[in-house]
């Protein structure tokens, strides 16, 4: 290691890095099958994406906006089914 290198290491310790990232839901789909809005956006009733409008996965591994699927589930009189695959809707553990 040259003396220069050590100096440069020193330089790195002095640096402050402000990085930019974007978040995304780790889902298979791009859009919610109920509201057709992108997952990275939010459901039609919400203003803010992210924590305020989370996704939820069913046992069938289909994901929806939490608010959307709740609305769906509550509107069903009997047992609700997944809007995508018609299997019985169960929230994923």
Partner 1 sequence: MELLGECNLGILETLSEDAIEEITESYGGYFTTVESLIGGDSSVEQELVCHVSTLCKYGLASLVRDHFLSSLQQAFDKGGASTFWLHFDDFRHKQHTDYGEEIHQALCGALEEITIEKQFHDKCLSILFHALHSFQQQSSGESHNSDSERVELFSTFRSILSSTLMTTLPPHFPEILHCYFKEKLEELSAIMNEDDTQQQLDTDGMDLDDKLRSKNGEMDVDQGFSRHDELVKNIGKVVRDLRSIGFTSMAENAYASAIFLLLKAKVHDLAGDDYRTSVLGPIKEWIQTVPLQFLNALLSFLGDSVRYDTTPSGLTSPLACCPSPSFSKVVTPSQGIVRWKLRLEYFAYETLQDLRIAKLFEIIVDYPESSPAIEDLKQCLEYTGQHSKLVESFISSLKYRLLTAGASTNDILHQYVSTIKALRAIDPAGVFLEAVGEPIRDYLRGRKDTIKCVVTMLTDGSGGNANGSGNPGDSLLEELMRDEESQENVGFDDDFHTDDKQAWINASRWEPDPVEADPLKGSLSQRKVDILGMLVDIIGSKEQLVNEYRVMLAEKLLNKTDYDIDTEIRTVELLKIHFGEGSMQRCEIMLNDLIDSKRVNTNIKKASQTGTELGEGELSVDILTSTILSTNFWPPIQEEPLVLPGPVDKLLSDYASRYHEIKTPRKLLWKKNLGTVKLELEFEDRAMQFTVSPTHAAIIMQFQEKKSWNSVDLAAATGIPIDVLNRRVNLWISKGVLRETRGREPNGNVYTLVESMTDSGKNESEELLGGDEESERSIASVEDQLRKEMTIYEKFIMGMLTNFGSMALERIHNTLKMFCVADPSYDKSLQQLQSFLSGLVSEEKLEFRDGMYLLKK
What residues line the site for partner 1 (CB under 8 A)?
4-5, 7-27, 38, 40-41, 47-51, 55, 57
The residue (of 10 and 36) whose beta carbon lies closer to partner 1 is 10
| Nearest-angstrom CA–CA distance, 5 and 79 | 67
Are the C-beta atoms of 38 and 30 separated by less than 8 Å? yes
State in angstroms the smallest separation of the CB of 78 from partner 1.
30
Structure tokens at 66: 């939490």
The residue (of 52 and 76) whose beta carbon lies closer to partner 1 is 52
- Residues facing 64 on adjacent strands: 56
The residue (of 28 and 90) whose beta carbon lies closer to partner 1 is 28
């Amino acid at each position: 290691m040259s003396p220069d290198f050590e100096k440069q290491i020193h330089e790195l310790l002095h640096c402050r890095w402000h990085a930019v990232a974007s978040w995304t839901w780790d889902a298979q789909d791009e859009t919610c099958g109920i509201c057709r809005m992108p997952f990275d956006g939010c459901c039609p009733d919400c203003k803010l994406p992210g924590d305020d409008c989370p996704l939820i996965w069913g046992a069938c591994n289909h994901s929806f906006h939490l608010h959307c699927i709740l609305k769906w589930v509550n509107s069903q009189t009997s047992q609700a089914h997944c809007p995508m695959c018609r299997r019985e809707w169960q929230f994923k553990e």
